[in-house]
């Protein structure tokens, strides 16, 4: 049976002491970034994982972190993937803890997890129940437990954090205006979504700032049918026109309706989407869209939690979480 690599093996490969390896995986201060990276590279090469049970006995730390999500389906699973990978790279075990939707049950379950003493830190992408911030001294979190709510989603799992940044809408409209587009239409998402509200505001503000013509904002429901209905209801003299759709699915419906009306893309009508769905690059024409790096956002959020657990400096928020992917659907108008 193959021998499991030890911290001594990692120390030998990295050219450091065994105590340095231990300090790296327990988050001890005073380790340089260069030394830390050298130890982590050696650990990855050997497929080393610290013995959490032994570490817990020595340091009174569990080496475990929790990511808190509601029971409702969480669509952007790449957030979880990024968070879990980041934690594992730092030597932690991560468990995903689900919370019920009913408020009293949520609070009871959260308090149970918080006070279990199993986790050094808890990361939540959604607002936490009152149990996270209220209660007398007896209800305080277990010693050493750090709780971080990053607020990337609301209770209904609607995006409410970094990914509601609507600056790509500005960028798309500005480039389309440079190409010669003067008439615009926004097919919006449901207005109970913070992301839909943000994109609607960005559309209206940018059109007004550039002195462009908006022929309307049509509320939709993220469906292809809403995009199709919006284009079907336009007057025949609407083109040339640029359509800013709430997401790629809405944009797909808009493209279908425009094609059925005999409007050529992008000569008569340009269309943009959001989410950069895998199929969007293979539409005819391929769809300009906004790519969201949810995995990197998840990793950044987890690094924030780990920094808080270890008492270190928080990481710098990454740039480029949202990127416009320019494709054939937004070439110059006729």
DSSP symbols for 47-116:
T----HHHHHHHHS---EEEEEEESS--S-HHHHHHHHHHHHHTT-EEEEEEE-SSHHHHHHHHHHHHTT
Between residues 125 and 10, which one has the greater pLDDT? 10
Please determine, for residue 58, whether its predicted confidence score (pLDDT) is greater than 50: no
> Which one is predicted more confidently, 74 or 212?
212
Most confident of 246-255, 298-307, 311-320: 246-255
Average per-residue pLDDT for the chain: 83
Q: Say which residue, 133 or 268, is predicted with more confidence.
A: 268
Nearest to 25 by CA among 3, 6, 2, 1: 6
At 323 the pLDDT is 94
pLDDT at residue 139 greater than cutoff 50: no
Least confident of 20-29, 35-44, 204-213, 261-270: 20-29
Q: Looking at the whole model, is its pTM more than 0.85?
A: no
Pairs from 221-226 (Cβ < 8 Å, separation ≥ 24): 221/189, 221/190, 222/189, 222/190, 222/246, 222/247, 222/249, 222/250, 223/249, 223/250, 223/253, 224/249, 224/250, 224/252, 224/253, 224/256, 225/253, 226/187, 226/250, 226/253
Q: How far apart are CA 102 and CA 114, in angstroms?
A: 18
Q: How much is the pLDDT for 156?
A: 56
Describe the crossing of helices 18-26 and 52-59 by its angle, rounded to 10 degrees: 90
**Percent of the chain whose predicted confidence (pLDDT) is above 90:** 40
pLDDT of 137: 34
Nearest to 189 by CA among 269, 266, 271, 274: 274
**What confidence score (pLDDT) does residue 129 get?**
65
Q: Dump pLDDT digits (tens) for 68-112.
A: 876 554 555 788 889 989 988 888 888 888 777 777 777 888 888
Centroid of chain to Cα 98? 18
């Amino acid at each position: 049976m193959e021998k499991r690599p030890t911290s001594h093996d990692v120390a030998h490969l990295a050219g450091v002491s065994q105590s340095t390896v231990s300090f790296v995986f327990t988050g001890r201060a005073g380790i340089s970034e260069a030394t830390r990276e050298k130890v982590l590279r050696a650990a990855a090469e050997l497929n080393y994982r610290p013995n959490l049970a032994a570490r817990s006995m020595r340091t009174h730390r569990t080496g475990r972190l929790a990511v808190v999500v509601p029971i409702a389906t969480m669509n952007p699973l790449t957030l979880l993937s990024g968070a879990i990978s980041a934690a594992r790279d730092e030597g932690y075990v991560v468990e995903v803890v689900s919370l019920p939707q009913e408020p009293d049950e949520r609070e009871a379950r959260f308090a149970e997890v918080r006070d279990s003493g199993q986790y050094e830190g808890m990361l939540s992408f959604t607002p936490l129940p009152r149990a996270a911030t209220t209660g007398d001294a007896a209800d305080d979190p277990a010693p050493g437990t750090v709780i971080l709510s990053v607020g990337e989603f609301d209770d209904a799992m609607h995006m409410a954090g970094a990914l509601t940044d609507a600056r790509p809408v500005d960028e798309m409209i500005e480039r389309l205006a440079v190409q010669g587009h003067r008439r615009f239409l926004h097919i919006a998402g449901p207005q109970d979504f913070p992301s839909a509200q943000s994109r609607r505001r960005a559309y209206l503000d940018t059109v007004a700032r550039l002195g462009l013509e908006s022929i309307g904002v049509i509320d939709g429901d993220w469906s292809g049918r809403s995009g199709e209905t919006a284009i079907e209801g336009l007057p025949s003299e609407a083109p040339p026109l640029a359509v800013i759709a709430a997401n790629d699915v809405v944009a797909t419906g808009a493209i279908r309706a425009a094609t059925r009306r005999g409007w050529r893309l992008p000569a008569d009508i340009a269309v943009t989407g959001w989410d950069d769905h895998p199929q969007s690059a293979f539409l005819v024409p391929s769809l300009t869209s906004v790519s969201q790096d949810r995995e990197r956002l998840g990793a950044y959020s987890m690094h924030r939690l780990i920094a808080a657990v270890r008492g270190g400096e928080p990481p710098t928020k990454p740039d480029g979480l949202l990127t416009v992917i320019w494709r054939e659907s937004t070439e110059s108008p006729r």
